Each structure stands twice: as structure tokens, then as C-alpha cells.
Amino acid sequence: MEGKEMKKIAMYWGAGCGGCDVSLLSLHEKILDLLEEAEIVFWPCAMDFKYEDLEKMKDGSIDIAFYNGAIRTEENEEIAKLLRKKSKILVAYGSCATEGCVIGLANLYSREEIFDTVYLKNETTKNEDGIIPSSNDLHLPEFLPHLKTLEQVVKVDAFIPGCPPPKPVLENALEALLQGKTEFGKSVALCDECPRKDSKPEKIEINKFYRWHEKEDNGDCFLAQGIICMGPATRAGCEAECISANIPCTGCMGAVPKVREQGISMLSALASILGDMDEEKEKEIIESLQDVVGTFYKYATAKLLPEGRLKDES
């Protein structure tokens, strides 16, 4: 500590769930170590500094700014730009900021469809005048036509994957970032650290894929049981937490580095273990894959569809 300059850090949430903020608090005792090296200058979840305080800071005066959550409203976008200006290193923290997370699935629909579902067609809502929230003398920030990742709005220097970043991933990332490094983390697939990896099959013989609640789990690799597990296409680092609780990986850590698309990478892994088959069987198996987007792009739809699916309709 002596003579060492304290790093200034900031944490902000865009459209997200707050789990990223909780993950930082859930370093538990280690947060006290972090506070010996760094001073937190802005963190709305836990501290009372306001936007005005952030605006007053000098450009580039924050050493590391973490942005968690996606960009869903004009306010999210404004703060992302403001933080970019005020910071030396801007980090996309967690799945929403990095690739849109589950809320990116909203890009499959238009803004109007969302408003209709939430405010007009909703069963418990009594709204005979058809009011849709908008500004009057109280300003509401605009709900953007589609959800964006942080990188789709400003330049991003580093990415911490995960929903939220699992503890080992976060600890490793913070250590690297405090030393000024912007690349960190594992570059292999989750299967590498999976407790069930010994039963991972080269080839499987199945007639359909099972949903994981349809079959009793026998403790083997989920793929060997004909259940989709995103492990082969997902970046390692979480120590296979979900699989340790007997639930297949759903892919929240995103693609393995240098692989652009998690979904395509998973489909090719499946093709390889299924091997050759006749056309009819192939059709049957493909049909048993329900909700393809929600399964293979559960966390990455916004990255894949930055403009939504709306183009064909406009």
C-alpha cells in the first residue's frame, strides 16, 4: 500500500438484473483486499454518488470502469458514453454487457410488440384507455428499438464473461486489470473442467434429443444421455457449477475465445458426435431440437442480431 497510488474504479449497471453488482460484493472478504488497492468513485447500487458527480470528473480520470447490463434505453446509452469519456479502461462486465444475455432475446420482437404485450394484452392489467407510458412533465428515457451490447455503442477494452462472472473468473480478471492487462481467462471449452468429462462420448446413437426434465439423470455426460449441454461450445472458467448441481450447461460464459458464434460451434459439435445418418432420422432428430434460438443463443442473441430481426418487416 505504501507509496502506491490507489486505482480509481467505477461500477455502473445498464439494463441488467443487478447480479453483476452482487457478484462484486460476493468476493466476500476479498472485497476488503480490493479496497486496499482501489477506491470506488461511482457505484449507484452501493454508494450515493449521482450522475452529476460523474459528469464533474475529469476525462480519463477513472482508471477502470466496469459497465454491467446491456443498453436498452437512451439513458443506458448516455451513461455508457459518459463512462467511456471518463475512463482509461472500460470493461464490459458480465454477459449482458458482453453479448446481451437472456434479455437480448427481446431482439426477436419489435418494441411495439413488447409494449402491447406488457401494457395492453396483459391479463391482470386494467387499461381501458390504452395508456402506453411515455413522457409528460416527468421525463422517461426512450426505450430503444432493440437491445445493444456495450461494444455496439462504445469502444470496449476488456470483457469479463459469465452471468454473472463466476468467482474464479472475476478474481482472475480483477488481478489482471489492476496490473493493466486487458486479456485474461481460459481459452478452452467447459468440457475441459467438467466433473462428467470421462463419460463424454465420441459418438452417440440416439433417435431424438431429450429435454432435461424428461429423463432421469444417470450421472453421465449429458450429451451421452441425449440431452443438450452447451459445454463443448462454452468458455471454461466457472468450474462447471451448474453441472455440479446436475443441470446441463446453458452457455452463460459465451463462446470459447476466437470462436465467433457459440450456436454454430455447438451445432457443429453435435453434428460431429451424431455422425452420419439417413435423411429421415436426421429430420427426426432436428425436429426434436425445440426452441433453437433459445437453446443455442440463450445469452448471445443481441450479439448475433444487433439490429433485431426487424429488417424484413420494415
Partner 1 sequence: MKVSIDPITRLEGHGKIDIFLDDKGNVDRAYMQVPELRGFEMFCVGRKAEDMPIITARICGVCPEAHHMAAAKALDMAFHAEPPEPAKKLRELLYNAYIFYDHCLHLYYLGGIDVLLGDVSKEQRNIVGLIKKFGVEIGKEVIKHRRYAMEIIKMLGGREIHPVSAIPGGVSKGLNEEERREVESKAKECIEFAKKSMEIFKKVFESKRWNELLGLDSLQTYYMGLVDSNNYVNYYDGDIRIVAPDGKEVAKIKPEKILNYIEEHVEKWSYVKFPYLKEIGWKGLVDGKESGVYRVGSLARLNVADGMNSKEAMKEFEEFRKEGIVHETFAYYHARLIEMLNAAERMHALALDDQITSDDLCTMPAEAGEGIGVVEAARGVLIHHYELDEKGLVKKANMIVATTNNNAAINMSVANAARKVIKGGNVNDILLNKIESAFRCYDPCLACASHALGSTPMIANIYWKGKLYKRLEKNV
Which of the residues 143 through 202 are near partner 1 (CB under 8 A)? Answer: 143, 163-164, 166-167
- Interface with partner 1 by CB under 8 A: which range of 152-160, 259-267, 287-295, 304-312? 287-295
Counting contacts by CB under 8 A, is residue 6 touching partner 1? Answer: no
CB burial string 68-95: b at 16+ within 10 A, e below:
bbbbbbebbbebbebbbbbbebbbbbbb
CB of 266 to partner 1, least distance (A): 16
Counting contacts by CB under 8 A, is residue 137 touching partner 1? Answer: yes
Alpha carbon distance 128, 142 (integer Å) = 23
For residues 132 and 115, is the Cβ–Cβ distance under 8 A?
Answer: yes
Count of Cβ atoms closer than 10 Å to residue 210 Cβ: 14
Placement of cell 460484493 in the chain: 25
For residues 23 and 16, is the Cβ–Cβ distance under 8 A?
Answer: no
Pairing of strands 143-148, 158-160: unpaired
- Residue from 124, 179, 218, 314 touching partner 1 (CB under 8 A): that is 124
- Residue from 8, 10, 16, 266 touching partner 1 (CB under 8 A): that is 16
- Residue from 34, 51, 151, 208 touching partner 1 (CB under 8 A): that is 51
Query: Which amino acid makes up residue 284?
Result: E
- Interface with partner 1 by CB under 8 A: which range of 2-10, 95-103, 190-198, 264-272? 95-103
CB of 176 to partner 1, least distance (A): 22
Counting contacts by CB under 8 A, is residue 225 touching partner 1? Answer: no
Total residues interacting with partner 1, rule: CB under 8 A: 88
Counting contacts by CB under 8 A, is residue 103 touching partner 1? Answer: yes
Counting contacts by CB under 8 A, is residue 126 touching partner 1? Answer: yes
CB of 218 to partner 1, least distance (A): 13
CB of 172 to partner 1, least distance (A): 17
DSSP symbols for 14-29? SBS-SHHHHHHHTTTT
- Residue from 45, 178, 267, 285 touching partner 1 (CB under 8 A): that is 45
- Report how far apart, in Å, the C-alpha atoms of 306 and of each of 3, 43, 84, 148, 150 are: 46, 28, 20, 6, 11
